[in-house]
């Protein structure tokens, strides 16, 4: 009976995906330090509401759209942390629902299709998608565009040219929104656009109309980014140059990571994705392959290209692979009784080990922020290494536009921030910040030049007043020697 109702209405499946998403993600609700990236996104979004301009007043490489999304979430009630995590949960659940629909488009039965949506939600936290990483948001846009694309063979066969043309415009708009959340989805967007052109032609659209459609589809795909570019251009040449460097030039200047570290990241990521890969291979080997299956594998291929583009291979870079992998995997999950339990066994074990068992350092991070707030006065503290959310929680000013600690503290960013990092740290220290926060175990290889400046200043002018566990090491709070500790 429930299955019959579910087939008539999408709401039972949508509600199920939401409940599963909440159950898997509530462990982190309110945690301010789920991941270093989203801490900074929230900080930037908050400062935008107070007049700061990304790339000018507070620097990063991500598109403005991502920061605008965080600024909008900051307007919700509360301190912003729970708000962005709840909104991210809604996005994750919505994406899982789209995956269920996509799996059914590929011919999967309802049970395996639902399992594919649950699998997406279960594997998100295994690849650092526990809260508000950018793919948690833009995966919804790309998956929505892909779902439209999976309808193309049927529409072309039925000669529904108008539907295909409208779908192409909608898919390109969704891709444009994804691109303003992170630029790499341009690859998936291009593939989905080409697929629409191909099936539009098969559906009987003339070459002249096809050319017009392709030109028209580019507009919604590029409109969000072009609008941002126009805003910065209107502010002046210096502002536009800062925007261009941060968004498009700086990434090529980042230093590479050691080969051993890259190999370790790849091994860890693909070990966790192994169940999806095995399922995808099983589906690919099935004959005959439907046009929908080929489209889904094309989507996966485009996502793989985007995954490889930057080359750093952090685990969360693989998050955009999950939607196409999950949609495809559904086709293998219903073939044998043991397939579904075997598929989920490893994911559940990894979820317990990676998400539920590790100690929660969020309480310590809030304690650091309280101490920083109490001892900074009206001056700006300096978080050299550690959590950028400290500035947000302590409501203090920023000593530098390069407020993401990795930018000045770690070797991979040396020479890629648009400024002389050593000179910038020297300038910050010359202002004699009342409090300096750092780590005893770095998250990447230290920038030895800036580290030596900070260590010299700490030894000469500061004393340690607080230490708390952070990851595999500790967050350290230093107070200037001429100041008294305030609690």
Asked if 341 and 366 count as a contact pair (C-beta separation under 8 A), the reply is no
pLDDT tens over the chain, length 487 residues: 334 444 568 999 999 999 999 999 999 999 999 999 999 999 999 999 999 999 999 999 999 999 999 999 999 999 999 999 999 999 999 999 999 999 999 999 999 999 999 999 999 999 999 999 999 999 999 999 999 999 999 999 999 999 999 999 999 999 999 999 999 999 999 999 999 999 999 999 999 999 999 999 999 999 999 999 999 999 999 999 999 999 999 999 999 888 999 999 999 999 999 999 999 999 999 989 999 999 999 999 999 999 999 889 999 999 999 999 999 999 999 888 899 999 999 999 999 999 999 988 999 999 999 999 999 999 999 999 999 999 999 999 999 999 999 999 999 999 999 999 999 999 999 999 999 999 999 989 999 999 999 999 999 999 999 999 998 899 999 999 999 999 8
**Whole-prediction pTM:** 0.96
With CA atoms as reference, report the closest residue to 306 among 321, 296, 327.
Answer: 321
With CA atoms as reference, report the closest residue to 406 among 438, 381, 379.
Answer: 438
CA-based torsion, 248, 252, 254, 257: positive or negative? positive
Asked if 116 and 99 count as a contact pair (C-beta separation under 8 A), the reply is yes
pLDDT at 1: 35
DSSP state of 352: I
Backbone torsions φ then ψ of 296, nearest 5 degrees: -65, -40
Integer Cα distance of 478 and 465 in angstroms: 6
pLDDT at 287: 87
CA distances from 3 to 10, 97, 454 (A): 11, 16, 63
With CA atoms as reference, report the closest residue to 394 among 378, 412, 418.
Answer: 378
Q: Which two tokens stand for residue 213?
A: 């459609």
With CA atoms as reference, report the closest residue to 326 among 269, 286, 266, 275.
Answer: 275
Burial class (CB in 10 A: 0-12, 13-18, 19+), 89: buried
Integer Cα distance of 114 and 119 in angstroms: 9
The structural domains of the chain, with segments of one domain joined by +, span: 13-356, 362-480
Backbone torsions φ then ψ of 476, nearest 5 degrees: -120, 130
Burial class (CB in 10 A: 0-12, 13-18, 19+), 485: exposed
Q: Which two tokens stand for residue 225?
A: 């980014």
Integer Cα distance of 19 and 13 in angstroms: 10
Provide the angle, in degrees to the nearest 10, between the axes of the packed helices 36-49 and 64-74: 70
How are beta strands 382-383 and 473-480 bridged, if at all?
unpaired
pLDDT at 4: 44
Strand partners for 466: 477
Integer Cα distance of 252 and 29 in angstroms: 35
Largest distance between two CA atoms of the chain: 79
With CA atoms as reference, report the closest residue to 172 among 207, 223, 209, 137.
Answer: 223
| DSSP of 56-85 | TTB--SS-HHHHHHHHHHHTSSSSSHHHHH
pLDDT at 474: 97
With CA atoms as reference, report the closest residue to 452 among 435, 464, 438, 433.
Answer: 438
Burial class (CB in 10 A: 0-12, 13-18, 19+), 341: exposed
pLDDT at 209: 95
CA distances from 357 to 27, 352, 387, 454 (A): 11, 6, 21, 34
- Which residue is listed with tokens 């009342």? 434
Asked if 396 and 373 count as a contact pair (C-beta separation under 8 A), the reply is yes
């Amino acid at each position: 009976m429930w299955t019959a109702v579910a087939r008539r209405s999408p709401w039972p499946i949508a509600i199920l995906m939401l409940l599963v998403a909440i159950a898997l993600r509530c462990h982190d609700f309110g945690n301010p330090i789920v991941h270093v990236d989203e801490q900074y996104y929230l900080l930037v979004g908050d400062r935008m509401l107070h007049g700061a301009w990304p790339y000018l007043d507070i620097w990063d490489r991500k598109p403005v759209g991502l920061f605008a999304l965080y600024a909008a979430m900051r307007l919700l009630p509360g301190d912003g942390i729970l708000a962005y995590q709840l909104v991210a949960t809604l996005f994750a659940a919505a994406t899982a629902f789209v995956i269920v629909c996509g799996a059914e488009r590929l011919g999967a039965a309802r049970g395996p299709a639902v399992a594919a949506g649950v699998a997406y939600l279960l594997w998100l936290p295994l690849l650092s998608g526990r809260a508000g990483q950018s793919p948690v948001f833009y995966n919804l846009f790309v998956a929505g565009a892909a779902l439209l694309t999976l309808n193309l063979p049927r529409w072309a066969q039925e000669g529904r040219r108008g539907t295909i043309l409208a779908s192409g415009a909608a898919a390109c708009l969704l891709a444009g929104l994804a691109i303003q959340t992170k630029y790499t989805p341009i690859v998936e967007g291009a593939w989905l656009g080409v697929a629409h052109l191909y099936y539009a032609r098969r559906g009987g659209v003339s070459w002249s109309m096809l050319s017009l459609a392709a030109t028209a589809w580019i507009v919604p795909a590029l409109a969000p980014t072009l609008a941002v570019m126009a805003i910065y251009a209107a502010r002046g040449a210096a502002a536009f140059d800062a925007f261009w460097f941060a968004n498009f030039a700086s990434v090529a200047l980042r230093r590479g990571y050691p080969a051993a570290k890259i190999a370790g990241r790849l091994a860890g990521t693909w070990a966790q994705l192994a169940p999806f890969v095995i399922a995808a291979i099983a589906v690919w080997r099935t004959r005959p392959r439907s046009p929908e299956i080929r489209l889904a594998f094309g989507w996966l291929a485009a996502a793989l290209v985007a995954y490889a583009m930057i080359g750093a291979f952090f685990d969360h870079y693989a998050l955009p692979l999950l939607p196409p992998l999950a949609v495809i995997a559904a086709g293998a999950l219903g073939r044998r009784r043991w397939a579904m339990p075997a598929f989920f066994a490893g994911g559940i074990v990894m979820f317990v080990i990676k998400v539920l068992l590790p100690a929660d350092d969020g309480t310590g991070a809030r304690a650091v922020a309280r101490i920083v707030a109490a001892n900074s006065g009206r001056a700006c503290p300096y978080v050299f290494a550690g959590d950028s959310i400290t500035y947000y929680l302590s409501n203090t000013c920023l000593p530098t536009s390069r407020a993401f600690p990795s930018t000045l503290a770690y070797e991979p960013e040396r020479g890629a921030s648009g400024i002389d990092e050593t000179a910038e740290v020297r300038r910050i220290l010359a202002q004699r910040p009342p409090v300096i926060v750092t780590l005893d175990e770095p998250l990447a290889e230290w920038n030895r030049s800036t580290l030596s400046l900070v260590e010299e200043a700490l030894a000469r002018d500061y004393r340690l007043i607080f230490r708390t566990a952070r990851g595999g090491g500790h967050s350290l709070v230093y107070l200037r020697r001429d100041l008294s500790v305030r609690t």
